Amino acid sequence: MYPFALLALFMAIISGMLMHVVQTSGLIDEHRAELDKRYVSVVTEAFRLRMARTGSLGVMTLDSIQTVGDGKDEGFKARSADPVRLFIESASNLTDSVWQFDRLLIYALDKDHQNIDITSAAENKCDASAGFAVASNWCGPAAGIRYNVLETRQAYLEMMTAEVVRMQATLHKFGRGFGEVEMRRFPRATLTEGQSGEMCAYGTSYGSSSCQPVECSGVRVYQQTPFDCSDLFSIWGTPVVLDLIQNTHMAISTTSPAVRLKTGVTRQIAREIRLQ
């Protein structure tokens, strides 16, 4: 009787230990899944901040976002990301019907998905004939993998809108000078009708207002109307061009190195003002 009782007790202990191991293993998997989710989120946000600052994704590697550079440390939180579990794929110069853009994929693979090629056409829910590196639209893998996708075209509208708002503020200064200072002529420095030139190269300079955006800290004055660095350069740091069409008609324009059309040509943005 006693041997059977001991055997039953031993089996109960073994069963309890096995149950504990299974439960512990499940908790470990859940913990790893939460870590993967956090790593993907943190690294995605770091690249998103870089794109907001520069208009591009830059060098699209985990090491590049984890390394401090040029004083703009978007990736300080991303340094905790585990390169053994977190992966990055990138593709440049993709095109859709309008734009050329870059794409970045941040993802983590658990033990059940180690053999999946997430970049293959088979894993694209949008278009099973085109993989990550060539598809104009990529909707992510069919399998349940933690991931995020960033594309530079996502920021194009926001950047162009910000540039137009900046231009409107500059045009307001020209309009004020037209009515209050020049009496029906736009402030123009030494430009004459039909001429155009970079605004940073004309007018009287006060402080540092060279045609290098990183060196600009002063103003340029056109016939008593001051223009600061935000007027002289676009949000991308390219010089603003003033086109004096007539004394009562002018336009300003900029070129965006970040916004690219399908052909690869950079997008130009212009705004005009005409007063009588």
Contacts of 9 (CB under 8 A, 6+ apart): none
- Are 170 and 252 contacting, i.e. CB atoms less than 8 angstroms apart? yes
Percentages helix, strand, coil for the chain (3-state, rounded to 5) are: 40, 25, 35
More confidently predicted of 242 and 115: 242
Claim: this prediction has a pTM higher than 0.85:
no
pLDDT band at residue 162 under the 50/70/90 scheme:
very high
Contacts of 44 (CB under 8 A, 6+ apart): 106, 148, 150
pLDDT band at residue 240 under the 50/70/90 scheme:
very high
pLDDT of amino acid 192: 94
Q: Is the pLDDT of residue 63 over 70?
A: yes
Residues 154-171, mean pLDDT to the nearest whole number: 95
Q: Is the pLDDT of residue 260 over 70?
A: yes
Residues 170-193, mean pLDDT to the nearest whole number: 89
pLDDT of 9-41, one tens digit each?
Answer: 556 566 655 565 555 555 556 777 788 888 899
How far apart are the C-alpha atoms of 101 and 99, rounded to whole Å?
6
How far apart are the C-alpha atoms of 246 and 264, rounded to whole Å?
33
Question: Residue 89: exposed, middle, or buried by beta-carbon count in 10 A (0-12, 13-18, 19+)?
Answer: middle
Average pLDDT, the chain: 85
pLDDT of amino acid 15: 60
pLDDT of amino acid 235: 93
Domain boundaries, the chain: 2-110, 156-274
